[in-house]
A and B are shown apart, each in its own frame.
Chain A
Amino acid sequence: MMKKRSSGGSQEINASSMADIAFLLLIFFLVTTTIASDKGLTIILPPKKENQPQIEKNERNVYVVLVNSRNQLLVEGEPMNLADLRAGVKKFILNNGADKNSSDNPLEAAVSFKTDRATKHATYVRVYDEITAAYNEIRAEKLGVSTKEFMSFDKEKAKKEPALVQKAETFAQKTDFVGDDVVGNYLNYDENSKDKRKQRMIDAYKAARTSSKVLFVEKYYDVQKQFPKRISKAEPTKVE
């Protein structure tokens, strides 16, 4: 009788505390988990000063954005509110020679952004963000998608989505007929391309993104590079 009892006790381990233990561990990991917010504004810095070729750039093709130590904005010599900057940049890029004091075409157009050393980083990021937003909005418009769609473009996923690749390719074909005044010309940007027309575009692009006498900018935001980068990554390796 005694034997039976003891064996009955050890027949199965009471598992009810298992849940408690697991919960404890779970809560520990819940608390320590930091879902990393690895998001930010990307930028490719210009090469070091000695490596920068001196390139003349027409003054009207440079949109000068200055921010002082009190975080105030001076755009093309006039004070401006941050809220108006995006529209200003867009108008400048898409001028296409209409206004004699504004850019010749989007390829030539460049935004020079310079801040004081004492400017707050938050302001710096916001201004850079607005300039990027202007470019992104133009690109989205040219692509015929909403800005949100354009921004949520997932490069890795896009490789697997032929519909998006198709969209990019038809756009590239279209812009071949439109001419140089379309930002999307850089769609087929490829460093090693042998196509002369593309090569010209690349040269222009390279010229545009290096600092010049007129520019003497600390940072040069040629976001056009990011446009082709964004799309060309989506394309499968192209056979020419």
Chain B
Amino acid sequence: MAQFRKQNKTLPAISTASLPDIVFMLLFFFMVTTVLRETDIKVTYSAPGATQLEQIEKKSVVSHLYVGFPKDTKLGKEARIQANDVLLNAPNEVRQWVVNEKSKLRKNEQGEHTISLKVDRDAKVGIVTDIETELREIDSRRVIYNANRAADAK
């Protein structure tokens, strides 16, 4: 009996005091990695699939442009362009937006300014071409078509 008691004393319940620390550690990890979405996406976007993907090296020089069908059905069924939080009425508005975005960058980074086109897979090439024509006009020619990794056909 005495022995039994002794054992009980040496093996107390596992201390959970360190549990908050562990959880906090995880919490900080997610807090740091989290990029809170700045914009509310008002258009449908499901990325097309591709295999030859490249990672965007410098995220700070990238501006995102969404192209898709409006989620709000009142806005019609035509594909629209979304820049930041607003839906653009015409592709030529892209020009002003890009100039604005570019001016936010540091001088030495302005040449690297890249437009990431997040185009819905069902959108037509026409609207994308319109955007690209605008981009060419203002000589902002670095473009990335966002895509998901797809299984290689081969």
Interface residues of A (CB under 8 A from B): 15-16, 18-19, 22-23, 25-26, 29-30, 32-49, 82-83, 86, 115-122, 124-126, 128-130, 132-133, 136, 151, 155-156, 218-219
Contact of B20 among A18, A33, A36, A43 (CB under 8 A): A18
Pair A41/B27 contact, Cβ less than 8 Å: no
Among residues 45 to 73 in chain B, which have CB atoms less than 8 Å away from a CB atom of chain A? 47-57, 59, 62, 67
Task: Provide 8 A-B residue pairs closer than 8 Å at the C-beta atoms, listed in order of the A residue.
Answer: A15-B17, A37-B148, A40-B116, A46-B136, A115-B125, A117-B125, A119-B125, A121-B122
Kindly state the separation between the CA atoms of A124 and B127 in the bound complex, as whole angstroms.
13
B12 at the interface (CB under 8 A from A): no
Given A19-B23, A23-B23, A43 contacting B143 (CB threshold 8 A): yes
Query: Measured between C-beta atoms, what is the minimum distance from B122 to chain A in Å?
Result: 6
Cβ contact of B121, chosen from A41, A120, A219, cutoff 8 A: A120
Q: Is the CB of A22 within 8 A of B20?
A: yes
B143 touches A32 (CB 8 A): no
* In the complex, chain B residues whose CB is within 8 Å of the CB of A122: 48-49, 121-122
Tell me the minimal C-beta distance from B22 to chain A in angstroms: 9
Known: A26-B23, A86-B154, A125-B48. A41 touches B147 (CB 8 A): yes
Also in contact, A151 and B27, with CB within 8 A (given A48-B136, A124-B128): no
Is residue B77 within 8 Å, beta carbon to beta carbon, of the partner chain?
no
A19 to B22, CA, bound (A): 9
User: In whole angstroms, how far apart are the Cα atoms of A86 and B51 in the complex?
Assistant: 12
Q: In chain B, what residue has the closest Cβ to A233?
A: B57
Instruction: Say yes or no: A132 contacts B27, CB within 8 Å.
Output: no
List chain A residues, Cβ under 8 A from B154: 86
List the 3 closest A-B pairs by CB distance, nearest first: A117-B126, A122-B121, A29-B30
- B90 interface contact, C-beta 8 A: no
Contact B145 A39 (CB under 8 A): no
Contact of A22 among B16, B24, B126, B136 (CB under 8 A): B24
If A15-B17, A37-B146 touch, whether A121 touches B124 (CB-CB below 8 Å) is: yes
Q: Residue-by-residue, is B26-48 near A (CB-CB < 8 Å gives 1, otherwise 0)?
A: 11001101111100000000011
Chain A residues near B139 (CB-CB < 8 A)? 47-48
Bound-state CA distance A18–B125 (Å) is 53
Q: Quick check: B20 and A19 within 8 Å, CB to CB?
A: yes
